[in-house]
Amino acid sequence: MEAAVLAEVLSENKQAARLRDRIGGKDPDATRPERIQLGEIINNAVTAKRQADTSLVGDALHGHVVASAVREPTHELDAVHVALLVAIGKENRIRQAVQDLARNWEGRIELRLLGPMAPYDFVATLPPPL
């Protein structure tokens, strides 16, 4: 999965591809600045892909959930981390929608649907009364 995303980044970003080709097989110490630059480019591209993929998940699941909350990735390889509040009886719809996304992203992103879980992501806290 990681290799698929890296291949996407390198195919979409010519500067990254040129840097990778330039430093390939060379002494890491001699190409340290280029390696740092390549790492920054890849990191920024992965962040942009994560945001785009999260938007796609939100769009695909919008009509199937009561609420959703985007959460910060817990691992550098996490692509999308979203908590979903699903009405009782609608679980099969959400399961099917996630399976559809998984088929579309096969080989690139592995999707897991965890739950049911406590709905704490959707509890709002009010400021204390004055």
Predicted TM-score (pTM) of this structure: 0.74
Question: What whole-number percentage of the chain has pLDDT above 70?
Answer: 98
Query: In the 3-class helix/strand/coil scheme, how is the chain assigned residue by residue?
Result: CHHHHHHHHHHHCHHHHHHHHHHCCCCCCCCHHHHHHHHHHHHHHHHHHHHHHHHHHHHHHHHHCCEEEECCCCCCCCCCCEEEECCCCCHHHHHHHHHHHHHHCCCCCCCCCCCCCCCHHHCCCCCCCC
Mean pLDDT for 2-25 is 89
Kindly indicate the confidence band of residue 103, based on its pLDDT and cuts at 50, 70 and 90.
very high
Q: Is the pLDDT of residue 21 over 90?
A: yes
